[in-house]
Chains A and B, each alone.
Chain A
Amino acid sequence: MKQLLLGDEAIALGAIHAGLSGVYAYPGTPSTEITEFIQGNALARERGLHSRWCTNEKTAMEAALGMSFMGKRALVCMKHVGLNVCADPFVNSAMTGVGGGVVVLVADDPSMHSSQDEQDSRHYGRFAMIPTFEPSSQQEAYDMMAVAFDYSERQCLPVLMRVTTRMAHSRAVVEVADEARPENAINYDAQAANWVLLPANARRRNDIVCAQQPQLEADAAVSPYNVLTDAPDHSLGIIASGIAYNYVCECFADGCPYPLLKISQYPLPKTLVRRLLDACQRVIVVEEGQPFIEEQVRGVAESRHILGRLTGELPRTGELTPDCVAKALKAQLAINDGQCADTKDSHAHAPLSIENKPLVVPRPPALCQGCGHRDVYTALNQVLQEYDHARVFGDIGCYTLGFLPPYRAIHSCVDMGASITMAKGAADAGQWPAVAIIGDSTFTHSGMTGLLDAINENADITVIISDNLTTAMTGGQDSAGTNKFEAICRGLGVPDEHLHVVVPLPKNMPEITRIIREEINYHGVSVIIPRRECIQTFKRHAKEKKNSKQ
């Protein structure tokens, strides 16, 4: 059967058809649609597959290990920076090994369309000695899920599947199976000692996993996803991985004239690399993300013959495009022909400026009209202008847009939960007022532990949990702490008289500003919770209500 699927949807359906029993995930662009697809899939519902959102990536990874321990197949999904949050259980999962197959799907975001950095998750796979898959098409992404689960169970290791934005968020027609493999039954044969990472057990497992590595590499050398295609012109060889393979193919409509090694499974198969290097005068490495293959290939051959992101043929940072790949390959072609590269492109022309004034200006994203965060920033700015050196520590979510005009309200945004802990550190350094602003979902993801630190030292900070009752930035997924925030704060030790809930609306401005001012002037931890539903989910819910009435 043929379906038009996003890369993320192909992955989700591939997992369901591979006998998945549960997906564990925290929303993050560009990975969110995988879990959403499973939540909406009829077969997944019929089978009762676990698909509820987790509080963060670490709880997700650990729950998946628990499911695997019982012999069933589990999928963990996250964006690249989420892998930092669950690095502890991820790396240790190679030491425990798995029972039922575990696939850890990580969606990298080169060019940082919606992210804080452009880290390349393949490094984590290598670091943890975990086999890694990197599909180059939506069809491959679908097909690979079954292969990855089988391989995970055969090797008793989790499998890392790495995709990038353009794979996750691009649609193509995918041929899918008509029926799904059954789920695994519960299995009590798991090697219990493997799961207890006391040093004695961990050392034994470490030796085993190290000893497995040559076999993993040998498997990659004969993988149908790693293909070396010979061609007559040996002046250049090309290594292309994942989606970058498509950009190389785009340049050669009549077939690639150079030997081409496609890589979609790691560890990097050095025998294939060696064969290409031996046959070709120079080799260019085209890969999305950091120069992961390029650095390893430089260890195999004389580095002056290896070209790529490290040598400037391709841009050192940012997403690849068919244009920069074509430019790099054309330049090599020109060197071979002894000519200058023709990099002029031909396109339709229209003036993009008039009298030196641009006709096209940036249109940055902004907080929605009617969004409660707007009222929170209006109130906060109004109060803080009364102080000489107020500092506001921001966090990850829609409200990070408070950095932009007209608010210019935050001074930092580092990682999930850092607002509270950074405000505390600043207060420790003597800063006052030190204000943290964090969203509801980010608070339960990684803010609660930091608040406990602050409480334990009665740090002089004011924490604003801007609660819009959802995980808004990624499109309105359920937020783990909804209806629990006052209880959580009280439980962590926030005193009642310094815990306030307000409704962020323009008419409430006098009350909100008064409370913010009073709590800044209180020298200890206080928490203010402005609470009003996200305007986007509000509209969606209103529409659903209207439709259900009809």
Chain B
Amino acid sequence: MKVDIILCGVGGQGILSIATIIGEAAMNENLYIKQAEVHGMSQRGGDVQSNLRISSSPIASDLIPRGKADVIISMEPMEALRYAPCLAPDGWVITSSVPFVNIPNYPDVDSLHQALAELPHVVSLDIEQLAKDAAIPRSANMILLGAAQRALGIDFDKLCDAVRRVFARKGDAVVEANLRALAIGRDAR
């Protein structure tokens, strides 16, 4: 088993929480993990990404070679497209469809979605609306993770267990909201 994942978005959108849940689930399965993160200056509203590699055999590089990513999980559509050249020919893109516009020259949104649609396997979801409809606006990132579950090849139950462990200290309500978010994401795609 080997999955190379690129997580991306804009600083503050919660991509590291997604990484934490996947990492927790993978560690519990005794898999090897490497996860390169971005800290520091680029977190101030700039583009951020994390390389997450999971494998049943030892992993050498902390970074994923270009064209080898199996899955891109993106909190933002333009950021998903930024990493398209990293994606393997048959890789999956799971992205939020909602643009985060904090720059004056943000590209035309329809063209952006058309370009994304040309990739082989794309799931594009309005995770913010889904989160709002379910009254769990702060769990949009877990909806995205739920939608990515099949592409990741990690059992849904294992992700749920990881959510329970990671969010346990934040209380039952937070755990419950994030479990619901995972299920909404899984069922939405």
Contacts and interface: CB of A to CB of B under 8 A. Distances in A.
3 cross-chain pairs, A with B, having the tightest CB-CB distances, nearest first: A347-B67, A29-B40, A114-B40
A30 B82 CA distance: 24
B82 A360 contact: yes
B175 interface: no
B119 A6 contact: no
Contact of A246 (B38, B62, B87): B62
Contacts of B10: 363
Interface string A322-357: 110010000000000000000001111111101001
Interface string B108-142: 10011011101110000000000000000000000
A367 B23 contact: no
Given A4-B23, A358-B107, A363-B102, A348 B120 contact: yes
Given A348-B91, A350-B84, A365-B11, A322 B61 contact: yes
A323 B66 contact: yes
A201 interface: no
A507 interface: no
A365 B45 contact: yes
A4 B39 CA distance: 17
Interface of B: 10-11, 23-24, 27, 32-47, 59-67, 78-79, 81-82, 84-91, 102-103, 105-108, 111-112, 114-116, 118-120
Interface string A17-43: 000000000000110110000000000
Interface stretch (A85-93, A164-172, A453-461): A164-172
B34 A171 contact: yes
Given A170-B37, A173-B32, A321-B63, 11 more contacts: A113-B41, A114-B42, A321-B66, A346-B89, A347-B86, A350-B119, A351-B118, A352-B81, A352-B115, A363-B45, A473-B41
Contacts of B106: 361
Given A170-B34, A321-B63, A326-B65, A33 B85 contact: no
B107 A357 contact: yes
A246 B36 CA distance: 13
A211 interface: no
B90 A363 contact: no
A322 B34 contact: no
Contacts of B45: 363, 365-366, 368
Given A4-B27, A113-B41, A359-B78, A170 B115 contact: no
Contacts of B11: 365
Nearest to B19: A171
B46 A366 contact: yes
A361 B37 CA distance: 21
A171 B85 contact: no
B84 A361 contact: no
Nearest to A355: B111
A294 B10 CA distance: 38
Task: Kindly state the interface size class of chain A when it binds its partner.
Answer: 35 or more
A250 interface: yes
B36 A169 contact: yes
Given A249-B61, A359-B78, A366-B44, A30 B39 contact: yes
Contacts of B44: 365-368, 398, 401
B91 A247 contact: no
Contact of A29 (B27, B32, B41, B108): B41
Contact of B40 (A346, A363, A474): A474
A349 B118 CA distance: 8
Nearest to B52: A171
A456 to B, nearest CB: 35
Q: Looking at B34, B64, B86, which has the most chain A CB atoms within 10 Å of its CB?
A: B34
A343 B83 CA distance: 19
30 contacts: A29-B40, A30-B39, A32-B39, A166-B36, A169-B36, A172-B33, A246-B60, A247-B61, A247-B63, A249-B60, A249-B61, A250-B60, A250-B65, A321-B65, A323-B66, A326-B65, A347-B84, A348-B84, A348-B87, A348-B91, A349-B119, A352-B84, A354-B108, A359-B81, A359-B115, A360-B78, A361-B107, A364-B46, A366-B45, A368-B45
A113 B43 CA distance: 11
B60 A345 contact: no
Contacts of A549: none
B169 to A, nearest CB: 11
A110 B164 CA distance: 38
Interface in A369-416: 398, 401
Contacts of A357: 107-108, 111
A114 B46 CA distance: 12
Contact of B88 (A247, A348, A359, A473): A348
Contact of A359 (B39, B60, B91, B111): B111
A368 B34 CA distance: 30
A113 B78 CA distance: 21
Given A170-B35, A348-B89, A365-B46, A30 B66 contact: no
Contact of B36 (A170, A358, A368): A170
A2 interface: yes
A475 B38 CA distance: 13
Nearest to B66: A323
A357 B78 CA distance: 14
A364 B43 CA distance: 10
Given A348-B88, A361-B107, A366-B46, A473 B40 contact: yes
Nearest to A366: B45
Q: Looking at B42, B61, B106, B119, which has the most chain A CB atoms within 10 Å of its CB?
A: B61
Q: Looking at A6, A351, A360, A362, which has the most chain B CB atoms within 10 Å of its CB?
A: A360
Contact of B39 (A169, A243, A247, A362): A169
B42 A365 contact: yes
